[in-house]
């Protein structure tokens, strides 16, 4: 029986237990997602052994999957604090920044759209053939995104293409140090300024704050693209032609349109459950802090890193500091704060484990070097 033919009014008297009923309801709610996902897995199965087609199929899958999952750390606060504005206005703004950022890299780096991130050890060579799991990696990312799980797209996608285990180790080291730095910066900043922000950020924000947030979002979004465009472009030649660049930019622009039309989709909840992010003033401070940390790591080296780990560290430190600086009656239970932090860290760790499993299954040589 097709999913669309199941009568949602069936009760336990018809042979369904409570758990079965909830499962059927979930399937019905997600039926279009499941249909599209199944079609994508089928397309990957047909094309993965044809490299000239597979690279574009994998790129299209990754183009939306990466933006959708990582949207919580870049444009999530922007979406949350601008819900009153038409979605297409936000899309055209963010899409325009994206086009300008990748175009600058394309023209100044001789066709490279990643700001040199894929020129580092282990990632400099474009893949000449693809495994099925490499092409479907972004689809697993979509599933995790649908479950509202923030995972590292860098680990989930890039590691399966690594030709040298040393490159994977450097990515891991840089990402974990990013978490620690972001956590430390956030705790320090919000411990020092938390009470001041709570005292001053009352009532309706001045119009200048809205302008400031759009500027902060531009800075953060550009910094994120400079780091994470590599996660999408890893399927493609390291130097794109003019036509290839047009397709690359067009697919990402269209993917952003879908995301904004869905208002960030289900993973947006990960942002909105955090304290005060819908206030444009708090969102601006978060974006500037996060963008500044990404800028520091961009200057340090061209090794790819997981920006998700940086963002999760930033939110964790901020939540702890905010809770400490608030009046006792306004504080959230410590157990709730701990649950949010541990859950987010568990999700990104799960993404790391899944990515290493995929990488080992795809690349036997990598497995030999990692475990021997």
Q: What percent of the chain has pLDDT over 70?
A: 83
- Average pLDDT score over residue span 47-62: 95
Least confident window among 50-59, 72-81, 139-148: 72-81
Q: Compute the distance between CA of residue 72 and CA of residue 308 in angstroms, rounded to an integer.
A: 9
User: In the structure, what pLDDT confidence band is assigned to residue 367 with cuts at 50, 70 and 90?
Assistant: low
**CA-to-CA distance for 256 and 100, rounded, in angstroms?**
14
Q: Taking the mean position of all CA atoms in its chain, how far away is CA 284?
A: 19
Average per-residue pLDDT in the chain?
A: 81
Lowest mean per-residue pLDDT among 18-32, 57-71, 302-316, 353-367 = 18-32
**pLDDT for residue 59 is more than 80:** yes
- CB 148, CB 267: distance < 8 Å: yes
Q: Which of 76-85, 152-161, 283-292, 324-333 has the highest mean pLDDT?
A: 283-292
Instruction: Name the more confident of 153 and 366.
Output: 153
Cα torsion 191, 196, 198, 204: sign = negative
Coil vs helix vs strand at 146: helix
Whether 96 and 285 have beta carbons less than 8 Å apart is answered as no
Query: Would you state the structure tokens that stand for residue 57, as one six-digit string?
Result: 């199929």
The stretch 77-95 carries a mean pLDDT of: 87
In whole angstroms, what is the distance from residue 33 CA to residue 235 CA? 24
> How is the chain split among helix, strand and coil, in percent rounded to 5?
75, 0, 25
| The pLDDT of residue 272 is above 60 | no
Give the residue extent of every domain in the chain.
51-365
**Number of neighbours of residue 295 by Cβ within 10 angstroms:** 16
Q: What is the largest CA-CA distance in the chain?
A: 67
pTM over 0.75: yes
Backbone angles phi, psi at 362, to 5 degrees: -85, -35
Token representation of residue 315: 């939110």
To the nearest 10 degrees (0 to 180), the angle between helices 51-74 and 31-47 is: 140
Report the pLDDT value the prediction gives residue 29, as an integer from 0 to 100: 67
């Amino acid at each position: 029986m097709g999913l669309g033919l199941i009568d949602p009014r069936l009760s336990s008297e018809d042979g369904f237990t409570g758990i079965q009923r909830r499962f059927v309801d979930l399937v019905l709610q997600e039926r279009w997602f499941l249909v599209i996902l199944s079609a994508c897995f089928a397309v990957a199965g047909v094309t993965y052994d044809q490299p000239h087609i597979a690279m574009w199929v994998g790129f299209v899958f990754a183009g939306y999957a990466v933006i959708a999952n990582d949207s919580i750390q870049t444009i999530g606060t922007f979406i949350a604090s601008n819900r009153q504005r038409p979605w297409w206005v936000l899309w055209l703004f963010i899409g325009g920044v994206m086009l300008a950022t990748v175009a600058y890299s394309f023209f100044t780096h001789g066709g490279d759209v990643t700001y040199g991130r894929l020129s580092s050890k282990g990632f400099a060579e474009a893949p000449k053939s693809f495994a099925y799991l490499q092409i479907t990696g972004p689809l697993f990312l979509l599933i995790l995104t649908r479950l509202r799980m923030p995972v590292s797209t860098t680990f989930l996608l890039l590691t399966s293409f690594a030709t040298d285990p040393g490159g994977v180790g450097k990515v891991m080291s840089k990402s974990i140090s990013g978490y620690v730095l972001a956590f430390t910066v956030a705790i320090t900043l919000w411990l020092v300024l938390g009470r001041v922000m709570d005292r001053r950020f009352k009532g309706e924000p001045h119009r200048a704050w809205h302008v400031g947030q759009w500027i902060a979002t531009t800075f953060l979004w550009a910094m994120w693209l400079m780091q994470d465009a590599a996660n999408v472009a890893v399927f493609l030649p390291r130097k794109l032609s003019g036509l290839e660049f047009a397709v690359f930019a067009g697919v990402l622009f269209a993917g952003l349109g879908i995301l904004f039309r869905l208002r960030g989709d289900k993973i947006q909840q990960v942002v909105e459950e955090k304290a005060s992010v819908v206030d444009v003033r708090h969102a601006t401070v978060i974006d500037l802090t996060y963008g500044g940390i990404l800028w520091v790591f961009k200057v340090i080296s061209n090794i790819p890193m997981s920006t998700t780990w940086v963002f999760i560290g930033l939110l964790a430190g901020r939540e702890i500091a905010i809770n400490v600086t608030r009046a006792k009656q306004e504080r959230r239970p410590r157990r709730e704060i701990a649950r949010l932090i541990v859950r987010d860290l568990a999700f990104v760790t799960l993404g790391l484990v899944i990515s290493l499993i995929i990488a080992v299954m795809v690349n036997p040589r990598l497995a030999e070097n990692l475990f021997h």
